[in-house]
Amino acid sequence: MQHLLAISVGNSRTAVGRFLGDKLEVSDHLENADLAALTHAVARHWAAMDDADALVAMASVNEKVAGPLEKALAAELGTDIHRVRRDLPIPVGTCVDDDTQVGDDRLLAAAAAWDALKQAVVVVDAGTAITVDFVDGEGTFHGGAIAPGASLQLRSLHEHTDQLPRVAFAQPDAEPFGRNTAAAMLLGVHEGLRGMVRQLVERYAEHYGAFPMVIATGGDAETLLAGDELVDRIVPDLVLMGIAVAARHAGEEDEADEEAV
């Protein structure tokens, strides 16, 4: 079983996971702000693997961070950095407009969900943005919806009004009403996003003719959707798991090509 160091560069943070085969042994979520600190943190994960033959694979929705990080890691680790799409195809079919470039994170989460379930599924990824995507029973990604995530909404309220405070996203109080400004902001964003997810899942189910499973991932998934009976599973590192699925499929294709020669 091959060791894999999976790296997913997001808009605000970078996720790093150490895999043995398909098993995620440990993961870490690091801020993007300091490239040197990010490089050293990833290098520590590489050193902990103690496997010179391990594969390093990177996916990204933020090339301003991923490009310099790839160069820094190639020098620091002394090994090739395999990029998703460029070196590792994402093993999921798509049914989207021809000129659409779907983000690595959305397709990798879809690939991981399909690989695990082999049935229709809605994937909710709650991060800087929140995406709600549909994968049909044949494993084809149909796209979905993109909206500002919880922290982005709260920051926008603060920055574009005169009196609303800066508020960090958290679980609202059980109180049915927001009895102060911060509580009202949290309640509005929290329940608004939950309502959006529910409405979209019902929309997809009506079109598909069956109710799909719902998997949630991303840094805000637990705060936003824990306890929601609509959600079947919360899988924090679904995108990293998608990188592992992509690496496995690429390895299987290489083996098949070698056997055919």
Among residues 51, 87, 105, 237, the one annotated as catalytic is 105
- How many other C-beta atoms lie within 10 A of the C-beta of residue 197? 24
pLDDT of residue 21: 85
> pLDDT value at position 253?
72
- Calculate the CA 253 to chain-centre distance: 25
pLDDT at residue 86, rounded to an integer: 95
Ordered by where they begin, the domains of the chain are 3-83 (3.30.420.40), 93-241 (3.30.420.40)
pLDDT of residue 255: 63
The 3-state secondary structure of the chain reads CCEEEEEEECCCEEEEEEEECCEEEEEEEEECCCHHHHHHHHHHHHHHHCCCCCEEEEEECCHHHHHHHHHHHHHHHCCCCEEECCCECCCCEECCCCCCCCCHHHHHHHHHHHHHHCCCEEEEEECCEEEEEEECCCCEEEEEEEEECHHHHHHHHHHCCCCCCCCCCCCCCCCCCCCCHHHHHHHHHHHHHHHHHHHHHHHHHHHHCCCCEEEEECCCHHHHHCCCCCCCEECCCHHHHHHHHHHHHHHHHHHHHHHHC
The question of whether 105 is a catalytic residue gets the answer yes
**Claim: this prediction has a pTM higher than 0.85:** yes
Q: What is the full per-residue pLDDT of the chain (261 aa) written as tens digits?
A: 689 999 999 999 999 999 998 899 999 999 999 999 999 999 999 999 988 889 999 999 999 999 999 999 999 999 999 999 999 999 999 999 988 899 999 999 999 999 999 999 999 999 999 999 999 999 999 999 999 999 999 999 999 999 999 999 999 999 999 999 999 999 999 999 999 999 999 999 999 999 999 999 999 999 999 999 999 999 999 999 999 999 999 988 766 655 665
